[in-house]
């Protein structure tokens, strides 16, 4: 079974970062997929740890932008519902 994911940053060397839902409780993590040439393995870390590792990094800034975008979408959707829920 595939975990839902959303890519939010790709580096110039081809590494990718995605937000993924994992497990029965739909916990949210950041997955790093290294480029093929590096031979590295994908890894997952919780969002708080990810942001603490590299404040101001391009991938950290991209995650913050994505979270802001998702929050705006959520706020907009809740305002469009007649009962506000």
- pTM assigned to the model: 0.79
Instruction: Give me the domain span that covers residue 56.
Output: 5-79
Residue 43 lies in a domain: yes
Residue 84 lies in a domain: no
pLDDT of 23: 81
Kindly give the confidence (pLDDT) of every residue in the chain, 85 residues in length, as a single tens digit, with 9 standing for 90 and above: 467 899 999 999 999 999 999 888 889 999 999 999 988 999 999 999 999 987 789 999 999 999 999 888 888 888 887 665 5
Name the strands in the sheet holding 43-46, side by side, starting at the edge strand that comes first in the sequence.
5-10, 16-22, 27-33, 43-46
| Terminal-to-terminal C-alpha distance of the chain | 31
pLDDT of 81: 72
Q: Total domain count for the chain? A: 1
């Amino acid at each position: 079974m595939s975990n839902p994911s959303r890519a939010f940053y790709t580096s110039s060397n081809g590494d990718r970062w995605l937000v993924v839902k994992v497990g029965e409780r739909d916990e949210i993590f950041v997955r790093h997929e290294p480029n093929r040439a590096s031979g590295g393995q994908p890894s997952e870390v919780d969002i708080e740890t990810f942001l603490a590792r590299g404040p101001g990094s391009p991938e950290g800034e991209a995650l913050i932008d994505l979270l802001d975008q998702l929050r705006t979408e959520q706020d907009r959707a809740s305002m469009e519902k007649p009962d506000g829920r």
